[in-house]
Amino acid sequence: MIDERDEATETELELAEVIGRVLLRDPEHPAWRDARFLEWLAADARDESRHRQRRLARAARASGDALMARAHARRLRVAQGGNPPLVREASPSELAGRRVPVVELGIAAGVGRELWDEPAEAWVELPDDTPSGEYVALRIVGDSMAPLMHTGDTVLVRLGGDVKRDTVIVARHPDDGYVCKRVSRVRRTSIELASLAPGRPAIGIPRDARLVVGTVMLVWCTHRS
Question: What's the CA dihedral at 42, 72, 161, 154 to 10 degrees?
Answer: 140
Please tell me the total number of residues recorded for the chain in this structure.
Answer: 225
Distance CA 209, CA 206 (A): 9
Distance CA 29, CA 127 (A): 23
In order of their start, the domains of the chain are 4-76 (no CATH), 86-224 (2.10.109.10)
Greater confidence, 198 or 166? 166
pTM: 0.76
- Residue whose C-alpha is closest to residue 64's, from 56, 72, 53: 56
Taking only the tens place, the pLDDT of each residue in 82-141 is 899 888 776 666 555 688 888 876 655 554 456 666 677 888 989 888 988 999 999 998
What is the CA 168 to chain-centroid distance, rounded? Answer: 6
- Give percent of the chain with pLDDT exceeding 70: 70
pLDDT of residue 6: 46
Greater confidence, 171 or 12? 171
Backbone angles phi, psi at 153, to 5 degrees: -70, 160
Q: How confident is the model at residue 46 (pLDDT cuts 50, 70, 90)?
A: very low
Distance CA 20, CA 102 (A): 34
- CA terminus-to-terminus distance, the chain: 45
pLDDT of residue 113: 53
Taking only the tens place, the pLDDT of each residue in 139-179 is 998 889 998 999 999 999 999 999 999 999 999 887 778 89
